[in-house]
A and B are shown apart, each in its own frame.
Chain A
Amino acid sequence: MTSLPGKTEKSLGLVIDLDTCVGCHACVTSCKEWNTGGHMAPLTDFDPYGGAPDGTWFNRVHTYEQSCGEGGRTVNFPRSCLHCETPACVTVCPTGASYKRSSDGIVLVDEDKCIGCQLCAWACPYGARDFDFDVGVMKKCTLCVDRIYNENLDEVDRVPACVAACPTGARHFGDLGDPNSAVSQLVAERGGVDLMPDLGYNPVNKYLPPRAKTSAPTDAPAKELESVTAEGGFLGWVDRMLSEEAL
C-alpha cells in the first residue's frame, strides 16, 4: 500500500467547462498525440485497423443526453484523471508505483515499479486509468508533466496539450490549491463542481456545469413585437419614418 503526501505544495489540475464543450475530441487526440511520444510512450493501439480497435488513451469524451426541461439537453463530457487529493488509486498500489507528487500534486505511475496488477484501475471510480496490455503497465494522464516544465519548449507552450488544443477554450489549467489563482477564481465564479464528491477522494480537477438554457436573450428580456400603427399601414409607417429621419 502506498502512502500519500500530506498537503502538497501545489494542486495542479484542469478545469473543464461543460457549457462550452462541443465534443470535438480535440483534447482526446492532442493528448494521444503528445503522450504517445511522451513520458509514458507509447500509448499502444491494438487492432487499429480491424474490427475491435482499442488503444491506450488518457482522455476520452463521452456524449450524453440528459432529460431536463424542454426536450432535455446534450452534454459532452471529457474524462481524464482528476489528480485527486486523496486518490484510492495510490493508496491501493502494492508497490509504490502509483504515487502523488508532493510538489505539484500530479498523480503518476512509475513504470519500473508497476507490476500490472491493475488494482488502481479497480480502485479509481472515475475510470481514469488505461492499462497498456502490450507492456503490462498501467498508464494515465500525466497532466503533461513533460510539457508544463519543459525547458525545450517555448514558455508559452508549457501547458497541457489538451488545454492548448481545445478549440472552444473549454479547458483551463493551474493551481487549484491557490484560491487566488485564475483557475480557482473561475471555479468560484462559475460554481465549479467535483465529480462524485461523496466518494471522498477530493478531485483536484473541476467541472463547470452547463448554464441554464434560456428562452430569452441572456441579458434582458425582449418585448413581444407589436404591429406598427400608422395611417396607410406598414408602408405608411415607412414613409413617416423616412420623413422623420430626413434621409
Chain B
Amino acid sequence: MTGQGANSRPSQAPLKSTKAPGEPDGVDTSPRVSDDVRQTTCYMCACRCGIDVYVSDNQIRYIQGNRDHPVNRGVLCGKGSAGIMQHYSPARLKKPLLRVGERGSGEFREIEWEEALSIATERLARIRDTDPKKLAFFTGRDQSQGLTGWWASRFGTPNYAAHGGFCSVNMAAGGLYSIGGSFWEFGEPDWEHTRYLLLFGVAEDHDSNPIKIGLGRLKERGAKVVGVNPCRTGYNAIADDWIGVRPGTDGLFALALVHELLRAGKVDLTYLAEYTNAPFLVIREPGAADDGLFVRDDSGTPLVWDRKRVAPAEIGAADLSPALTGAYTVNGRTCTPAFALLAERYLSETYSPDAVAETCGVAPATIRRVAAELAHAAFEQVVELPIAWTDARGRRHQTMRGRPVAMHAMRGISAHSNGFHTCRALHLLQTLLGTIDVPGGFRYKPPYPKPAPPQVKPAGKDGGTPNTPLDGPPLGFVAGPEDLLIDDDGRPVRIDKAFSWEAPLAAHGIMHMVIRNAWAGDPYPIDTLFMYMANMAWNSSMNTSETIAMLTERDAEGEYRIPFIIYSDAYYSETVAYADLVLPDTTYLERHDCISLLDRPISDAEGPADAIRHPVVEPDRDVRPFQSVLLDLGARLGLPGMVDEGGKPKYRDYADYMVNHERSPGIGPLAGWRGREGESHGRGEPNPDQLARYIANGGFWKHELPPDQSYYKMANRGYLDFAKKMGFVPAAEQIVLQLYSEPLQRFRLAGQGHGDVLPPEELRERLVTYFDPLPFWYEPLEQQAPDGAEFPLHAVTQRPMHMYHSWGGQNAWLRQITSQNRLFVNRATAARLGIADDDWVWIESRQARVRGQVRLVDGVNPDTVWTWNAIAKRRGAWMLKEDAGEYEKSFLLNHAIAELLPSEESGYRFSNSDPVTGQAAWFDLKVRIRPCAPEEAGHGAPQFEPIKPPPDPETPPHTLRYGVRFRTMREKAE
C-alpha cells in the first residue's frame, strides 16, 4: 500500500519534479539508504504506531512512520524518531543475572538461561503445588496482557494485574461503567467533524500521535480547542482557550457546565430518551433494600413510563414515549425517571458557576461562557451526514445527525482520588449534549462499545487452589457486592486488595500497593513477586524511599520479608537491582508481539485493527523476549493450555502462540487472515501463514466499517450484528448509556446494611458516601486532612512529549533535550514566597521532602507547582556517567507522595487511591516550598547509595558517532 498519510497537504508534498537539478557541487542526492525496509510496531511509548525501519547491514539506518497505519498515518513523534538510541543503549541487559550481594546493591553474577529457568521453575512449581496466590505476578506497561493474564489464570493465582491501576483505571472504569467505552483506549474525538474540543487533564500524553494529528486537523478546519489543565504546556499551549483549573476540581467544573446546560434547557432530550437510561424508573423508597435500583418486570427488564399509554413499559418496546420527569407507582413501588433525579441534583445551586468558582480557580463568567459555547456548537451547528442507517430497533434513518462537541480526558482526571466520578461527570456532560458516537462527537473504537459495564467478572474468589487454574481471568468488572473477591470475613482475597470493599471496582488491580502489602503481610505474606517492565523500585511507586527499604527488609529469621523477586526488563533499571533473578528481555526491534483485539488493539473509530511486532534485527546478546520465556516457564510448570497431551510445550515461542492459540474456537490473539488460507477475519481456524500476511500488509490488519456502521455503534443494527459475529459483544442488543449507575447503588445499599454480602462496619460510611449512582465531586481524600493549610500548593507531574510513556531516560538523544527536571512555579506565587528563578528549594509534603531547582513560569495555576516526572535516576542505574544530570540535579517527586492516607480514627490507613477503583492518586499531593540553605543548592535530594554496575558492563562512549558507518559504506561503494 502507498497511502498518502496525514502530512499529505499540497504544501507537504514532494517537489513537482524530484529530478535532481544539475548543480555542479558533487553532492550525492541519491545515496543508497538501506538494504531493506521492515514494517513493525513502535514501542517507544504505549501508543502502538506503525513504523518503517530502514535496515542497512543489519544496523538501523532510519525509522519513519508507516503512512498506511491507522494510528499514526505516517507521522512519528520525538520518541519514535529516537528509537535507534533506545535500541543501542549501553544500559541493555545482556544475560540472565542471579543476585550474589545484598538486594539493592546491584551485585549479580551472570548465569545461563537454563539455570535461570530452572531456578524460576522450581520455585514457582512449589508455590503452585501449595498455595498459588503466594505468587504475585504484576506487569508494567506491556502490551501482552492477553497472554500474561491468561498465564496467571492458568497458574491459578488471583494476584495478577498490569500497570493500569496506577495509570488510568479511573478513565477505563469511569468510561466502561458509563458508556461502555472510554477516552483514549476505546474511543476518540471525531476529528473530521467536531467544531469544539474540550481537553481535560491531557498534558503531553495519551495518546501521542493521534491527538497531535487531530489537533492539526482542528486548527486547519477552524474548530475551537479548549484546554482545561493547570499547566499551559504542550496541547494546552496551542489551545484557543486555556483554563488553568485547580488540580482535582475538573469534576466540579464539568458539573457546573451541566448545571448551566440544564438551566438553559440545552440538553438533547431525544438522545437521552433513545440511548441512555435517563428514562429508567428508579425506586424511591429510602430505607428499602432496593431503594435506588431500577424497577424491573418479572424477566428483569428495566421499566420506563410510557407517556402515550400512560403505563409502565419495558425498555426497548416498540413506539415508546418514555417520560423523563414525574413520580409514578409501578408494581406498588414509588419511582421516578433517573433523569428527574439527575436534574434535581445538578440544578441545585451547589453546582452553579458562582458556587464552584473559587474551588475550581475558574471565574464564573468563564464557566458560563464555556457552557454557552458548548450549547452553541451542539445545538446551532448540527452536523448531518447523508448516510442512511438502521437502528437497533430496526427503524431506518435517512441521515446521521450529530452535535459537533468532542471531549478528551486523561491522566489529569485519572490520577486523583475523585477521578472515577470526575470521569463519569465528563461522560454525563457528553451524553446530555447527545455527543456519544455521533458525527462531531466522541466515537467508539471497536471492539467497543461493550455493555456498560462489560460482563466479564474477576475470577479467583477462593484465592486459588493448588495445581488448578482459575475459572476465568483475574481481572474483570464487578456489578455488585456478590462479585467481590473477599473471604467469608469480608477480607481481601488479593494481595493488592483489588475487588475488596476498599476498592470494589478495581478493574486493573492496584499495582502501587503490592510491595507494601507483601512487605506488611497484609492481607497475607507472599513467596514470590514476579514483575515485568515496571520500575517499582523507582518512578512507578509512591513513597519510593520507604518502598525500596521494604524490598530489602528482613524478618526475625533474617529472611527477606518478600522472599523472592523475579524481574524481567530489557534495561538496567533501578528495579533490576532489587531482583533475585533477572530475566533479560529484548528491545522492541528484536521481538514478536501482538497488539490484539483481546487486549489493547490499534483500532480507530473507522474499524477494528490489530498489529504485530516482529524482529527486524537479531539480538546480539544472550537475551530472550519475555513472552516467549513466560510460555517456556508455563510449559516447564505443565500449565494447562501450555503443554500438549504428552506434556511437551504446546508453543515454540510467542510467535507460535500468536498464530496458534485459540481463546475460544476460531478466536485467537490476531484477527486478520484467519482460516487455513487466510480467507476470514475475526473468526477462523489458525492460519500457518498469518504472520507473513501481516508483514506483507505493513505489520497490521484493519477492517474498515461501512459508512452506515461508523456512528451510533451502541444502537446501530448493522454494527451490532457485526460486533456479535466478531465476538466483540455477547449479544447484538442496544448498549444503553448508564448516566445513573445501578452497580454503584448496589454498593451503596450494602453500605446501608442491605443485601447478603455486607461490608465490615467501619467501611460502610465510606461506601455510602462514594458509591453515589450519579457523578458527584468531593475534595480529593488526602486533601480532606485537617492540616491542609500547612501544605498550600498542589504538586503534579507530567512527562515531556519526547519522553512520555517511555521507560528509557538513558536515550542519548532525548536526554540532550531534558536531563534535569525543574520545579515549575508560578511567577507571582514565587514572588510571594521570596523565590527567584533558578533557586534551589525544598519541596515538603506530609510524607517527605525532596530538593530541586526552580523554573518560574506564568502558564500555571497559581496554587500549583509541577515537574517533569521520571527524569531523575538513581545513581548507577541506566548506565549513565557519574555526573549525569539525572543523578545529580534532578529530583523524584514520588518520595513526597504517601502510598497511604492519613489515619482514620481507628488507626487504619487506607491506600492513597480512589475509593471506587483503587486508582493511584498521584496528583492529590499538596506541598509547601521554601528556599534551601546555600550549601544545599546544586544537588537534587534525596540521594541513595549507588547501584553497582552489572557484570561485564558496556562502557558508555564519550563520543558517539552513530551513522558514520553508513557514510563509510557509501563512500566505499563509490
Chain A interface residues toward B at CB < 8 A: 9-10, 12, 15, 17, 19-26, 28-30, 32-39, 41-55, 57, 63, 65, 67, 71-76, 99, 101-104, 108, 110, 134, 145-146, 148-159, 161, 163-175, 182-183, 185-186, 210-211, 213-220, 222-228, 234-235, 237-239, 241-243, 245-247
Contacts and interface: CB of A to CB of B under 8 A. Distances in A.
Contact of A22 (B217, B223, B238, B373): B238
Given A51-B884, A153-B33, A247-B321, A73 B12 contact: no
A48 B78 contact: no
A151 B33 CA distance: 10
Interface residues of B, number: 134
A34 to B, nearest CB: 6
B343 A238 contact: yes
Contacts of B22: 103
B698 to A, nearest CB: 13
B263 interface: yes
B7 A164 contact: yes
Contacts of B241: 213-215
Given A22-B212, A29-B78, A50 B880 contact: yes
Central interface residue in A101, A157, A211, by most chain B CB within 10 Å: A157
A63 B343 CA distance: 45
B901 interface: no
B490 interface: no
**Chain A facing B: main interface SS:** loop
B237 A22 contact: yes
B219 A241 contact: no
A215 B369 contact: yes
Contact of B960 (A48, A148, A152, A175): A48
B468 interface: no
B884 A74 contact: no
A154 B963 contact: no
A49 B23 contact: no
Given A152-B31, A169-B216, A238-B265, 18 more contacts: A20-B216, A22-B234, A22-B801, A25-B814, A29-B81, A33-B63, A38-B31, A51-B888, A54-B816, A146-B30, A150-B31, A157-B64, A167-B209, A169-B6, A169-B75, A228-B265, A238-B269, A246-B321
Contacts of B618: none
Nearest to B85: A48
Interface in B641-670: none
A74 B223 CA distance: 20
Interface string B923-964: 000000000000000000000000000000000111111111
Nearest to B322: A247
Interface stretch (B13-21, B546-554, B632-640): B13-21
Central interface residue in B236, B238, B307, B322, by most chain A CB within 10 Å: B238
B419 interface: no
A74 B265 CA distance: 37
A61 to B, nearest CB: 8
Nearest 10 interchain pairs by C-beta: A51-B883, A103-B21, A167-B212, A25-B78, A222-B376, A37-B963, A225-B264, A49-B956, A36-B963, A182-B10
Given A225-B266, A238-B343, A247-B273, A219 B222 contact: yes
Nearest to A222: B376
A161 B64 contact: yes
Contacts of B472: none
Contacts of B31: 38-39, 146, 150, 152
B62 interface: yes
Contacts of A238: 265, 269, 324-325, 339, 343
Given A30-B64, A238-B343, A245 B270 contact: yes
B33 A152 contact: yes
Given A20-B216, A23-B801, A151 B30 contact: yes
Contacts of B10: 182
B212 to A, nearest CB: 3
A55 B265 contact: no
B903 to A, nearest CB: 40
B802 interface: yes
A167 B22 CA distance: 33
A28 B819 CA distance: 16
Contact of A159 (B14, B270, B380, B813): B14
A46 B373 contact: no
Contacts of B234: 22-24
A218 B240 contact: yes
Central interface residue in A20, A26, A134, A157, by most chain B CB within 10 Å: A26
Contacts of B375: 222, 225
A29 B2 contact: no
Contact of B84 (A33, A166, A211): A33
Contacts of B880: 49-50
B724 interface: no
Contact of A37 (B2, B30, B62): B62
A169 B155 CA distance: 48
10 contacts: A9-B21, A22-B801, A32-B82, A37-B963, A99-B25, A155-B14, A165-B76, A167-B75, A168-B219, A239-B325
A47 to B, nearest CB: 6
Given A222-B373, A227-B263, A167 B213 contact: yes
Interface in B200-248: 204, 208-209, 212-213, 215-217, 219-220, 222-224, 232-238, 240-242, 244
Given A49-B810, A49-B880, A22 B11 contact: no
Central interface residue in A47, A156, A220, A238, by most chain B CB within 10 Å: A238
B238 A20 contact: yes
Contacts of A239: 323, 325-326
Given A151-B30, A241-B269, A74 B859 contact: yes
B28 A39 contact: yes
Nearest to A146: B31
A91 to B, nearest CB: 17
A173 B212 contact: no
